Amino acid sequence: MTGRPKQKIECRAYARSTGLPCRAKAMANGKCRMHGGLSTGAKTLEGKLIAWGNLRNVANKLTEPEYLNKLRENI
């Protein structure tokens, strides 16, 4: 089939507060861009190393007193 579909394919997610379905246009997986699902994380070794490096950087920053003072000021 080519061209536009006769009906818009809508997201099949439901709102918890109202129980109404999401009316946004769905992607190939059947969900809209806001309800596409949780990230499955890094798959390749390179991606896993990058994620691990970011985690180490955050852990190092949380031990610095200057960074903690900035966080406390923003609260």
pLDDT in tens, 48-64: 998 888 888 888 888 88
Instruction: Record the pTM.
Output: 0.40
Cα 54 to Cα 40, 43, 48, 51, distances in angstroms: 17, 16, 10, 5
Residue 12 contacts residue 21 (beta carbons within 8 Å): yes
What tens digit of pLDDT does each residue of 9-26 get? 888 788 888 888 888 888
Query: Would you state the pLDDT for residue 42?
Result: 86
Query: Would you state the pLDDT for residue 74?
Result: 79
Query: Would you state the pLDDT for residue 26?
Result: 85
- As a whole number, the mean pLDDT across the chain is 82
